Structure 1
Amino acid sequence: MSRQQGASPRTPIGRVVAVGLALAAVVSIIVLAFAWPAVTSDPHDLPIGITGPDQAVAAAEAVVDEAQPGAIAFTALDDRAAAVEAIESREVYGAIVLGEQPEVLTSSAASLVVHQLLTGVAAQLEAGVNAQAAAAAAAAGAPAAPPHIAVEVTDVVPLADTDPRGQALTAAMFPLVLGGMVGGIAISFAIIGAMRRVGAVVVYSVVGGLALAGVLGPWLGALPGDYWTNAGVIALALSAIAAPITGFVALIGRAGIAVGAITMMLVANPISAAAFPREFLPGGWGAIGQWFPPGAASTLLRDVNYFPQADALFPWLVLAVWTAAGILLSGVGHFRTAGGAEPDAVAAHEDDPEPELAAARA
């Protein structure tokens, strides 16, 4: 029986196979991008302060390096007060204070993973200190074992009581990245005109910052800091993700959506170090991730909520530069009709009154 006249032709088998293979490749890349940091994460050169007598410091460094080879890079500090100051300014994740009463200082707000690691280090130091004391007493012929020396663990900057495990703060980062992407993509489809999209990004970012700061702050308790500061950080983070997407669309057309989405979701988000310290990523990728909006936003939110003494200029600048770059791309696309987001006939009349714009579309 012959094919009915007017029936749609079937998709060629070659295209079916090609589409299936392409989609499988895309899924594999997505899974790899998100699973790779978790699988390969391992501490490398974590900055940890140490203070005390030279002999005790050398012995402690040897004990820690034997238990955690290459995990910790020690920074010499003057005293306990200097160690606390270094932790509060995020120069180090924690510190070991040696002397008559040894102590390990940590900061669960900086990283719960490192806090747990240093708690284990405290146990190792306690065992080593008491073993040395017992050996010295035995060598001196002491009739009784020396008193047990406890190594106290002090959380200098703890997480908020409303988020004691830091799960809400960590979990909030992915929706924030996704929200910036969704905003940029939706604006690219819904709004005609490069500069009109810039206005939409501004409105979306400001309103989104105010709303999300309320949800993550007073409602969920993930952000215990100042509401208006958090709203500003979130608004800038949303614009730093959305503006480049609309900028790419203005410059190269709808293909810009793919460029922006791949950059933010598959490249920047996995190396953002939102879930664990940047030192856990191999090959310096954690440091590279801080140059992208997801990593900068994660660091900045942690700084403004828990570490007001830290120098947060760099993440502020990163978010501002990405926002400005997106606006600049939109400005270039606004004056460049060929290859722009809209057909030339539409882009050339984007600032005309509505009747003329409708005529141009027709």
Structure 2
Amino acid sequence: MTGTQQTNARPTPPAGEGHQPPPAARAAGLVLAITAALAVVAMAFALPAVHSAPREVPIGAAGPQAASAQTVDMLERSGRDAFAVTFYPSRAALTRAIEDREVYGGITLPAAPGEPATLLIATGASPAVAGLLTQMGHQLGMHTGMPVTIEDLAPPTPDDPRGAGLAASALPLTLAGLLPAIALVLAFPRAPGLQFGAALASAALSGVTIAALLRYVLGSTTTNFWGVAGGLTLGVGAALLLLLGLGALFGKAGLGVGALLAVLVGNPLSGLTSAPEMLPAGWGALGQLLPQGATATVLRSAAFFDGAGSSGAVAVLVCWALTGTALLSAAALRHRKLAAR
């Protein structure tokens, strides 16, 4: 007797499928992972702000030597290491130091008793520090009985009196370097030359666009448009080339690591919303060695000081741009070797 033999055996599941956790457990793990990631992002952005305080902020004092020595001693004691005071022989020397971005501001003491002292500030260098110096000047006048007048050597624009526009540009500048890098790596994974050309074009377009928004929409800047646009182009280009090089050479892993460092480290430590000296000790200096921090310095220097004090930051950006270009070149060489095989 012949016939078909039926069995109750179930189909063998694909390899690994039987070891997967149930959907509810996977959903719970996904929710926990997202929550942890959000907590990390929140801490990265909140901790620098929470622990923001003046630490050895460079300021100056000018005037008669004896009176200046007394004032410097008072500033250092009342500031509790908030300020690092440098003595200048004259108001003109102190003014030059502020305009060259060597110090954030300072006080000029009168030559004769009864005359007012002059507090020199530069809001364009940092609205937060300018506010601290203004408060310090009022306290100094109350303690000494000496009238204090305030003069702003880099005043904010009438349309943006609090300097909010430049501070708010920190995240857009980070995204201007990050998003094109992600798009170019994913869209053209084996074309480093095309990626390089597109990155340069994207950086130039982003720099001019953000400069135009700061001037013509937000009113945060009024002078040196092309200097601001050039500085932003260099800053965005340095970050973009670095991220692009990491992605081209190491794939999605390199791009992911670079993106996390840019968002979680570079952006919070840029100092654009306050000042590097107001970040926790050591972190402000680290931020200035990263593309976002150097871009912040170049932006403020170009917008309010005609580029003064930005040479170090420009050098940092050039180094990062060259590093990214070297990574892209290494990726191109690897692709050529693989194609030759």
Aligned partners of 1:219 and 1:97: how far apart in 2? Answer: 37
Which residue of the other structure, out of 200, 203, 206, is the alignment partner of 2:198? 200
> What residue number does 1:113 align with?
128
- What corresponds to 1:348 in structure 2? 339
Q: For residue 335 of structure 1, what is the aligned residue in structure 2?
A: 333
- Superposition TM-score, scaled by structure 2 size: 0.87
Paired amino acid for 2:213: V
Residue 55 (structure 2) pairs with residue 58 (structure 1)? no
Q: Report if the CA contact (8 A) 1:272-1:295 is conserved.
A: yes
Q: Over residues 56-75 of structure 1, what are the superposed CA-to-partner deviations in whole Å (9 max), with x where a residue is unaligned?
A: 22332333334321111110
2:21 to 12, 17, 25: 12
Matched, 1:326 2:324: yes
Residue aligned with 1:95, SS: strand
**2: CA distance, partners of 1:103 / 1:262:** 45
Equivalent residue number for residue 144 of structure 1? none
* Gap regions ≥5 residues in structure 1: 131-148, 339-343, 350-362
| 1:131-142 alignment runs, 5 A limit | none
State the secondary structure of the residue aligned to 1:283: coil
TM superposition outliers: structure 1 runs of 4+ over 3 Å = 4-11, 13-21
CA contact (8 A) 1:248 1:326 kept: yes
In the TM superposition, residue 15 of structure 1 has moved relative to its aligned partner by 4.2
Contact 1:269 1:295 in 2 (8 A): yes
- Deviation of 1:180 (Å): 1.2
Matched residues in 1 for 2:153 and 2:59: separation? 14
- Residue identity in the other structure for 2:261: T
Code of the aligned partner of 1:315: A
**Equivalent residue for 2:255, pick from 254, 257, 261:** 257
Secondary structure, in 3 states, of the residue corresponding to 1:105?
Answer: strand
User: 1:95-143 deviations in whole A, cap 9, x for unaligned?
Assistant: 111123312111111111111111122122212222xxxxxxxxxxxxx
**CA contact 2:58–2:86 (8 Å) conserved in 1:** yes
Question: For the residues of structure 1 that align with 2:298 and 2:45, how far apart are their CA atoms?
Answer: 22
Q: Does 1:173 align with 2:182?
A: no
2:141 pairs with 1:126: yes
1:230-269 correspondence runs (5 A): 230-269=228-267
Q: How far apart in 2 are the matches of 1:348 and 1:74?
A: 61
Partners of 1:205 and 1:120 lie apart in 2 by: 40
Matched residue, 1:282: 280
In structure 2, C-alpha distance between the alignment counterparts of 1:308 and 1:232, rounded to whole Å: 12
Question: Offset of 1:34 from its aligned partner?
Answer: 0.4
CA–CA distance in structure 2, aligned partners of residues 323 and 6 of structure 1: 54
Structure 1 residue 269, shift from structure 2 partner? 1.2
- Do the aligned residues in 1 keep the contact of 2:119 with 2:151 (CA within 8 Å)? yes
Distance (Å, rounded) in 2 between the aligned partners of 1:72 and 1:42 = 11
Question: Residue 84 of structure 2: which of 66, 70, 73 is its match?
Answer: 73
Q: Is the 8 A contact 1:269 1:294 kept in 2?
A: yes
Q: Distance in 2 between matches of 1:109 and 1:63?
A: 26
Give the corresponding residue for 1:189.
Answer: 186
The alignment of Structure 1 onto Structure 2 pairs a total of residues equal to 322
Shift of the alpha carbon at 1:7? Answer: 11
Select 1:87's aligned residue among 89, 98, 104: 98
Paired position in structure 2 for 1:28: 39
**Any idea what SS the aligned residue of 1:233 has?**
helix
Q: Does 1:48 align with 2:69?
A: no
- Distance in 2, Cα, partners of 1:310 & 1:213: 18
Following TM superposition, by how much is the alpha carbon of 1:251 offset from its aligned partner in structure 2, in angstroms?
1.0
Does the Cα contact within 8 Å between 1:185 and 1:242 map onto a contact in 2?
no
The equivalent residue for 1:161 is: 158
Match of 1:335, SS state, is: helix
Q: Give the distance between the partners of 1:236 and 1:186, measured in 2 at CA.
A: 20
Post-superposition Cα deviations, 1:171-225, rounded to whole Å, max 9, x if no partner, equal 0121111121011111111224122111111121122222222222233222323
Match of 1:272 in 2: 270
Q: Percent identity?
A: 34
Structure 2 CA distance for aligned equivalents of residues 233 and 71 of structure 1 = 30
Query: Which shifted more, 305-314 or 238-247?
Result: 305-314
1:296 aligns with 2:294: yes
Give the drift of 1:336. Answer: 1.5
TM-score by length of 1: 0.82
In the aligned structure 2, how far is the partner of 1:236 from the partner of 1:310? 16
Aligned-partner SS, 1:274: coil
* Kept in 2: contact 1:243–1:323 (CA 8 A): yes
Q: Which amino acid aligns with 1:173?
A: A
CA distance in 1, matches of 2:142, 2:118: 13
Summarize deviations over 1:274-322 as a string: whole Å, max 9, x none.
1111111122211111111110111101101111262321111222221
